[in-house]
Structure 1
């Protein structure tokens, strides 16, 4: 049974009421204060203080100060007036219960309204934050697009400048070629004129010496023919480019299968040496075996631990990437995890490895027959 506190004191003005309630050992943590327009209650076990106010108050602006074994209430009146008493006189139990219930309902409604207002404020804040983030992202996207556009324009200008330089260089080369050809033509024309001048001089001399005899005339005519031969053409260099050779030997003598097998063996040897890389140094001996890792991945797949199985297959593929079954098993894991693109990629790798293996191991006739029969 709570102890009703009755030794309280109160004072009033036209706008406020000050109530002092002594409670020994009272603290903010243990005291339960409830206040509405017409009802005030303090529950501090085993003490209980309640009062049914004479007139309504502004409970939102009213204050309570707890400390020094006392609670001091400062209640602000809604209407400016002096109260005759602090509490309502002649209040029976039924009316008291009704006031309590009404006060509780009012408090619940206010708490509900406050919660709704807080939720609405939080939604508005989230909406505002979302709009701000969208604006920031839009600005960033626009900035990135502007940067891309500037880079594209810069690259276009550089390309145009490079093309202009190439065009000018080609134009200069063409002009030089034309000048060179003109000079050669002038040189040839000068040599031809010199030869014609010599031939005319020699012909006139031969006419003056025609009386020396037929034999001398024939000898002179033969020398004239020899000297009338034009000079040889100018010397030049012709640059010839040959296409690169794809195979070390002629294609009809090349052994493609042997060369690919040798490359495969070299890759396997390098892969065996890679097991000594520091990232594999902390592995056990059985963990460096691709077959052991494949079996480990199969066990993990059976227990539906697909991510761990993928890790096991990844390590096995890094140790030996020429086993098609590793890619097929990893594709099955990706298929279980709905990673369809990765599943297709691993299946394609396994198909290419199997096709290359058949090409290297089977005779060409049997290999072509399987291509036609199975469409691989």
Structure 2
């Protein structure tokens, strides 16, 4: 049962109510505040404060501040007048609490839906923006291609025009030569002189070297790891991915080399579990942890390895590691069936013991109650569970739980 807070205080104005709830050393992260228009709850285990308000308030404008060991809740009134009492003297508190919690859950669900809708809208906008940028980039590339195509087409048309003009000139020249051949050739001194000059020029013309032979140059390029074109790729992300892949391969190779050095029996996780159990029995908890570690590297699906390693960490006062290993064992012990009842009970007790040694008694009580549901006739488990309840209620001193 939670402990009710009675040493609270409250003040008011015509428009606002201020409630001061002492936190009794609780951290801000562990304080749970629920506020509706007619109900207020401040819960920090094992303490609980509830207020069934006389008149409704604006829950959407309410606020809470936590600091200096006190929680200050500000509640704007719906009607501007002075209250004679803070809470209503009614016996129907259970119904009011149920109605208020349902309203609070609906509010949280509505906020979650609106938040999800906002995220979907933002993703849609980002996708549309990305598609727009990609379309602009494609249009720009297409414009460059069209301009290059036009330039090449213009050059080709100019080349074809020059070729046709040259062919026409050749035809005109050939036609004039044929006409000259049909006429009587009257050689004048001027023609003789021109031919003589041409022959002398040919004699003086130097010999030119022969044209160079043609050849092919082979060019090869290093293939890209990613098939995406470079202009469309994300080079930084690709390099980061390649680096992580290389690190993962090195880690796997290191584990393989370490396991190669082991003897043949050390490669059997069942044999290593038995070895760890023997070390635990004689009190050599560090050696037991090492044996369980090597067995887990060989088989990560055996819940007994995590549960037994949690027991070793519990003995070595590595409480957070004990909680982590017990939780991993419980995850593997699903679904809950009759065959794994004893293993689940042990994992709950070990995690609950670690919570209690960390003075997290509420969490520890939950694990011991879960173990008690599995093994309800265990008298020692019943006694430990009652001791934790007494600690939470302040009627007993801190016991050394198992």
Per the shorter chain, which TM-score range? 0.3 to 0.5
TM-score by length of 1: 0.46
Length-normalised TM-score, structure 2: 0.43
Which has the larger Rg?
1
